[in-house]
Structure 1
Amino acid sequence: MATPKVWFITGSSAGFGLHMARAALAHGDKVIATLRTPSAIASLSSEYQSTQLLVVQLDVTKPEKIEEAFSQGKAAFGRIDVVFNCAGITQVSEVEGTPDDIARRLFEVNFWGATNVTRVAMKYFRENDPIGGKLLQMSSCAALDAVAISGFYSAAKSALEGMTDSLRKELDPAWNIKIAVLTPGPFLTNVMQTALFAPPHPSYTNPSLITNVIRASSDPSYFDGNPATAVEEFWAVAQMDDPPERLLIHREAIRSAKSKAESLLKSVEEAKEVKDLYLV
């Protein structure tokens, strides 16, 4: 029987984070569940003993608290095998109409928060004996195919993927650190309940504009992915010796990836036609 893994999970209060915590615990693993308000998962805490579940208060926008949370987790369980980097928020507003404070908040949580968790994770993976660990980096199909009305969310996730790809290339193979970027489509989580909203920009009055179409429809059936099913796939990735660099999950994620690939291939063909550009 495999030795239980120790998971460090951010954003454990709801959505993928909470579902991942429940799934890992159900598989017999140990979990360090981090979130801003520990009382939000009081019911989960009551189901498991402290030998299997440690709940730690953490705001990922505070770098010094990230180090403290990892330290508490290692003190409790001896090592950290998997980091599920999931804390995040989205926004609903045109790029022109998004106030700076909302745009910066998106980056503070989705990019800088996730980046600082990533940095500390690398340190703790190197300290493991045997050395190594797995980072499951939560991205979004919006990083592949930017979403209208969520421009700064799309930008922050794209930035996170760029940083993650660079990090993967920099790591010493001897450290045995594996990184998988998780790319879900629209799943039924609490993402819209916690979204940051701004009023419509006054210039965007044409009802046929995509942002107004999205506002008018607000079809909840669009978010039809089951997060409880998705996290079982994430758990399976954590068991792999050599996990995929990216996991696309949901038909919309696959569509986004195809759209991005087709766009890049089109650019390649167009560059070939302009010989001066192709030969530079």
Structure 2
Amino acid sequence: MNTEKIWFVTDASAGLGLVLVKMLLDQGHKVAATSRDGDALLDAVGAKLEGRFLPLTVDLADERAVRRAVAAAAAAFGGIDVVVNGAGQGQQGALDSLSDAQLRVSFDTHVFGVANVIRAVMPRMRAQRGGHVFNISSILGFDGGSVEWGAYSAAKFAVCGLTETLAAEAAPLGIRVSLVYPGALREGMPQASPESAARGGQGYVQGGDPVKAAQALINAAQAQYAPLHLFLGRDSFDQARSKIQGVQQELARWRELSVSIGFMDERRLAA
């Protein structure tokens, strides 16, 4: 059985994206990958793989550039089977200290960049009646209680809402959609990721293994039933479970007030 797929991976010059690209190529897949610096991406991958690897220089906030990149990937490989919208970088700072421009950069990177890719790939996937889109959010996009990461959390929460809607719209077309919530990853980066920084001093300093995280994405792409919500890392899993338990407790505690605003059924009162 031929399991080779054509992958389009954004923000792939470092971290999880770079690890994923290398692993995909090692496993025989074809990969188009974007970075703000395509030459640096080629150097980082460290291999000449003509016919199987296409590095692309793209600013994801530029919709025209994204469309050109998607068209180039489809032309080079004959289509696109799997899209991975990468994580990007976070803007740290208390919400009342961040400028409007700083907040907009966070949304341009994480939300509008993802939307640009989706707009470019969906017509192709719709025509082929299949495909798989992975949108990388963050555990901070599920639980926003980390001080000084509000801009990043807000953008990643937006990615979650966008992705859940995309999943509902894409399912009748045979297109699978997965929303990924990584926790802290041990990426060897000179600057800690938002997830790692938010976990500092909370027992998860080492972080998860990015190689295992990349393989988890590949496994999910090959699974018969794709997950809509995929939490990566013990810290991510535990934090999500704690958030869910907290919401359940508040639902129970405030149920009477929550449901009290409904209109009374006058027919029942008359009876």
- Verify same fold: TM over 0.5: yes
Change (3 A) 1:86 1:190: farther
Q: Aligned to 1:243, what secondary structure does the other structure show?
A: coil
Change (3 A) 1:276 1:253: closer
> TM-score, normalised on structure 2?
0.87
Give the aligned partner of residue 101 of structure 1: 101
State the Cα distance separating 1:24 from its structure 2 match. Answer: 0.8
Q: Aligned to 1:145, what secondary structure does the other structure show?
A: coil
What runs of 5+ residues in structure 2 fail to find an aligned partner?
Answer: 264-271
Bigger shift: residues 50-59 or 259-268: 259-268
Give the aligned partner of residue 2 of structure 1: 2
Q: Is the 8 A contact 2:18 2:45 kept in 1?
A: no
Give the aligned partner of residue 122 of structure 2: 122
Q: Is the 8 A contact 1:89 1:194 kept in 2?
A: no
- Residues 26-83 of structure 1 deviation map (CA, whole Å, 9 limit, x = unaligned): 1100000111101212335551322110111111010111110000001000010000
Matches within 5 A, 1:239-250: 239-250=222-233
Give the aligned partner of residue 156 of structure 2: 157
- Is the counterpart of residue 263 in structure 1 residue 246 in structure 2? yes
Question: Separation in 1 of the partners of 2:36 and 2:116?
Answer: 16
Q: Is the 8 A contact 2:11 2:88 kept in 1?
A: yes
Bigger shift: residues 155-164 or 85-94: 85-94
Give the aligned partner of residue 191 of structure 2: 193
Give the aligned partner of residue 76 of structure 1: 76
Bigger shift: residues 230-239 or 262-271: 262-271
State the Cα distance separating 1:259 from its structure 2 match. Answer: 2.2
State the Cα distance separating 1:221 from its structure 2 match. Answer: 6.6
Give the aligned partner of residue 207 of structure 1: none
Matches within 5 A, 1:37-186: 37-44=37-44, 46-128=46-128, 131-146=129-144, 147-171=146-170, 173=172, 175-186=173-184
State the Cα distance separating 1:230 from its structure 2 match. Answer: 0.7
Q: Is the 8 A contact 1:61 1:113 kept in 2?
A: yes
Question: Separation in 2 of the partners of 1:275 and 1:96?
Answer: 30
Q: Is the 8 A contact 1:34 1:57 kept in 2?
A: yes
Q: With CA pairs under 8 Å and 6+ residues apart, which has the higher RCO, 1 or 2?
A: 1
Change (3 A) 1:164 1:235: same
Q: Is the 8 A contact 1:90 1:191 kept in 2?
A: no
1:165 maps to amino acid: E
Bigger shift: residues 23-32 or 46-55: 46-55
Bigger shift: residues 162-171 or 184-193: 184-193
2:20 maps to amino acid: M
Change (3 A) 1:192 1:153: farther
Q: Is the 8 A contact 1:60 1:87 kept in 2?
A: no
- Is the counterpart of residue 234 in structure 1 residue 232 in structure 2? no
Q: Is the 8 A contact 1:90 1:192 kept in 2?
A: no
Q: Is the 8 A contact 2:180 2:231 kept in 1?
A: yes
Give the aligned partner of residue 205 of structure 1: none
State the Cα distance separating 1:22 from its structure 2 match. Answer: 0.6
State the Cα distance separating 1:195 from its structure 2 match. Answer: 7.3
What runs of 5+ residues in structure 1 fail to find an aligned partner?
Answer: 197-213
Q: Aligned to 1:180, what secondary structure does the other structure show?
A: strand
RMSD of the alignment, in Å?
2.4
State the Cα distance separating 1:273 from its structure 2 match. Answer: 3.4
Give the aligned partner of residue 211 of structure 1: none
State the Cα distance separating 1:104 from its structure 2 match. Answer: 0.9
Give the aligned partner of residue 201 of structure 1: none
How many residues matched? 259
Give the aligned partner of residue 204 of structure 1: none
Q: Is the 8 A contact 2:56 2:69 kept in 1?
A: yes
Change (3 A) 1:223 1:65: farther
